[in-house]
Structure 1
Amino acid sequence: MKIGHLIRAERVRQDMKQIVLAKGICTPSYLSKIERNQIEPSEDITEMLMKRLGMDPGKLQKNDEEMEREFEKMLLKTYREVITARDVAFAKERLGYLEQNLPLFENDSLHFTYSLITFRFNMIVRIDSDKLKQEINLLEESIDKFDVYQLYLFQLNIGLFCYNTGNVKMAIHYYELILRKLESLPLGEWEKAEFNYIISVFYMADGHTFNSIDHARRALNFFREQLMMSRVLDCYILIGISYKRSYKFQDALEAYSKAMQITEEFNLHSEKGIIYHNIGTLNSTMRNSGEAIQYYKKSIDHKIDSSEKLITILCLIEEYSKMNEKNLVSDWASKGIAMYHQLNDENQISFFHHFSLYKSLHSKEGLSVETAEAAIQHFKEIQDFRYIHKYCIALAEWYYYNRKYKLASIFYRDGNRYGYIYRKTEKWEDL
């Protein structure tokens, strides 16, 4: 049987070297040929390798095309259910089921589809980004064997991974590769709607408001036809954010009002938290700090998932910081740091740097240079130019206030440089 792809995938997943797996069973070079499906090992070698990896040889399936078709049908059905449900607990349950009930097929193509779909599920349940990166590296080595649909899933996943780790521009790059051939891909209408929604999120995050609204409306039309009202609500929120960023405040408010109406008509009260949050940001942009704070607090009260509260806490802190309410900034920053530690999710580490910087800035001792530089370095690593610019300016202001003019000038200049990058501007004349 050709089971090299299974052996290799599990070995890499366990971070085991070839020499360790091969020891006492075969030579590392022989194992390498097995993993590349260049040779078929004996049953004894297969069994020994699998047992060392903790795999069950009894699950091996020889060429049973009917069983493969049934499994693939179930796999794709599960994929649609999880993606359209947008429920983390459901995704976790389905992922566990697939992992526990996976037959080990000789068909490497079916294994690739399984790996690509479970990778998406792992992102939903927030598996550690380092483990996801390891899985990406494993998948990349097989990319020349992917069919058209598998390549689509791979680029879709890579784009989402980039976005989740802060690299929005690279996320857009992968999704625009898909966009160029979207209509020719063998996708269901639900997948096209889902793609349009996600690329709308990416465009919005990078300031492409026209593109964001356009793709959000395409997704909205499908979701509305299918009576997927929670997804219609998501689209209205996304459209509202894009209008806000275009300074079309009345249009933004109308979009949020439609979203709130849907929560009432279709009993989607759990979604009110995100709507209140966005009405808060709208009021903040309009310089209505008092109303913004009220909506942020409503948002925190309505949100159930602690990880979703972090962004609202940050917005609340920023509003209090603008009002120079030092004690309130410190109190909410402490709550945010405590929540971050409780979540124990390294994907949320940006919030730790946000909260730590604001807490330090408004403390009696004043801004800690070490804390500020750690935040700036973190955002440089994830290429979040907005916050590099923002926190360089904050540190420069601190140095200037303390009459350290040379250091202030260095960070003003650095802040301006990253501000140009963030605004996609090369020369001061273009500002």
Structure 2
Amino acid sequence: MINVKVMKVATTLGEKIKELRENLGMTQEELAEGICTRSYISIIEKNQMKPSAELIIKLSKKLGYDLRNLKESAHPASPYYEKLNQIETLLYNQDDREALKQLQEIPEDAVLPPFEKAKWLWEKAVLIALPQERWTEGESWCNEALQLLADSTELSLIAKVHYIIGVIRYRMGKLEDAFESFNTGIQVMTQSPSPSMRYLVLLYLNQAMIHNHWKEPRSALICVQKAKDLNKNTNSYYHVGDIEFHWGLALSGLNDPENAKLHYNLALQFYQYNEKATNLGAVYTNLGIVERQLGNFEESLQYLQKAIQHYQEASLKEKEENSRYELALTLFALNRYEEALETAKALHAGLPQDSPLLPNATWLIGEIYLKMNDLKEANRYLQQAYQLIVKDVHCPVNTKQLILTGLVSLYQKQDTPNLQTNYLEMLHESILGY
């Protein structure tokens, strides 16, 4: 049996205003200052007069709570009301371990009023669905939470739910749906009288992430700039490392490795002081790539080795494979063909048949053999790579062009002009986009 103090819950607009004012330690005179008279506040709190829409907005901003369209509630607070709020605070402070512990103390069959149940479902999505990759369940929980919040004025929570749905949909590969969720989250959060700047920054950064994924670096820069402006306008430092990282990604997409390197290094400085930095391995990998582009091959090797170590410690196999591929490319650029071949072959052997990296790894082995003048093995791997891109209609254009270019070079060396012309024509078609 849990002994919980029964709280009186405000059920009218006047009671809610009084409750919020007293919780803030504010007198009627202080609430009225710059808005209306003290006596008018008293009349409103006694429900003797309904304030105008304009006055409700002003009171909402001062009280930090959206009072618009507040409906009378017949739902008393549950025994878990304070615990749910505590979990939300722990999430804000990124103490996920303690938040999960608190969440597990709420029974699955607990009877909760609509708003509390919506918050509980959102917290389950954050603390259970995301870390355990239970995407379908997480999306279902969030959709149920939004249904419960349909008539709510708790805009900040609604925006947070849209954010988590966006993250889940991104992980599921539903990029367009994820982008729409982030966009809705931004619209809702900006309408809140007390918007969470931290979540707004996150929403814009996730939009930038998708734009970068879609190879739209200029649009990504616009989103990153909005996130940066939010911090500047509120003297905040939310997700500064992520801002610099996504800025670097956008500049890399614009083929500006020198300036991208500056932003990656800034991101690295912030991440090194943050044990929970999620993009640290990606920063190492991208620094390795831009250093290679700038001709700084030894620096490239160092960063890529750090990335591999980071991903090994975090048990992120797929990301580790990407870093190993980039490491093999750098070794190849250094003309260290034996090491590059060993690295590429080890990677190739461990990749599943449906890995999007498999065509690139197969191509690289063929390219290395081509440089080593082993034309038989070069032909074997380049043809394997070609068969992979023929089967995969979603294969990136740049990967197709790499493989076709390799085949053109191979048949030039073999002095087989018919085959060379055939693949050269396909390469031209790919470049021209038809």
Q: 1:107 to 1:220 in 2, by over 3 A?
A: same
State how far apart, in whole Å, the 2-side matches of 1:111 and 1:349 are: 40
The reply on whether 1:152 has 2:159 as its aligned counterpart is yes
Give CA deviations for 1:149-184 in whole Å, capped at 9, x if unaligned. 565344323432343344544433332333344411
State how far apart, in whole Å, the 2-side matches of 1:249 and 1:404 are: 36
Q: Which residue of 1 aligns with 2:374?
A: none
Q: Which residue of 1 aligns with 2:314?
A: 305
| Aligned positions of 1:311-322 closer than 5 A | 311-321=322-332
Contact 1:372 1:391 in 2 (8 A): no
State how far apart, in whole Å, the 2-side matches of 1:340 and 1:95 are: 34
Q: Which residue of 2 aligns with 1:251?
A: 259
Contact 1:72 1:110 in 2 (8 A): yes
The reply on whether 1:119 has 2:130 as its aligned counterpart is no
Q: Which runs of 5+ in 1 are unaligned?
A: 1-62, 381-386, 421-427
1:102 to 107, 127, 133: 107
1:73 to 85, 97, 109: 85
Aligned AA (2:121): S
Contact 2:248 2:263 in 1 (8 A): yes
Give CA deviations for 1:103-140 in whole Å, capped at 9, x if unaligned. 5224355333322332233464252xxx4135435754
CA RMSD between the two structures: 4.5
1:332 to 306, 320, 343: 343
> How much does 1:414 deviate?
8.0
State how far apart, in whole Å, the 2-side matches of 1:159 and 1:252 are: 27
Aligned AA (2:182): Y
Give CA deviations for 1:56-76 in whole Å, capped at 9, x if unaligned. xxxxxxx76142422431232
| Aligned positions of 1:215-364 closer than 5 A | 215-220=223-228, 231-262=239-270, 266=273, 274-289=282-297, 291-301=299-309, 304-307=313-316, 308-321=319-332, 327-336=338-347, 349-351=355-357, 355=361, 358-359=364-365, 364=377
Q: Secondary structure at the match of 2:199?
A: helix
Q: Which residue of 2 aligns with 1:202?
A: 210
> How much does 1:325 deviate?
5.4
Q: Secondary structure at the match of 2:381?
A: coil
The reply on whether 1:391 has 2:396 as its aligned counterpart is no
| Aligned positions of 1:84-95 closer than 5 A | 90=96, 94-95=99-100
Larger-Rg structure = 2
Aligned AA (1:176): N
Q: Which has the higher helix share?
A: 1
State how far apart, in whole Å, the 1-side matches of 2:229 and 2:81 are: 32
Q: Which has the higher contact order (CA 8 A, sep 6+)?
A: 1
> How much does 1:196 deviate?
2.5
Give CA deviations for 1:312-362 in whole Å, capped at 9, x if unaligned. 223223334566755434432455468878xxxx9x954566546645775
State how far apart, in whole Å, the 2-side matches of 1:159 and 1:269 are: 21
Q: Secondary structure at the match of 1:317?
A: helix
Contact 2:129 2:137 in 1 (8 A): no
Q: 1:158 to 1:408 in 2, by over 3 A?
A: farther
State how far apart, in whole Å, the 1-side matches of 2:389 and 2:123 are: 34
Identity over aligned pairs, percent: 10
TM-score (structure 2 length as normaliser) = 0.59
User: How many pairs align?
Assistant: 334
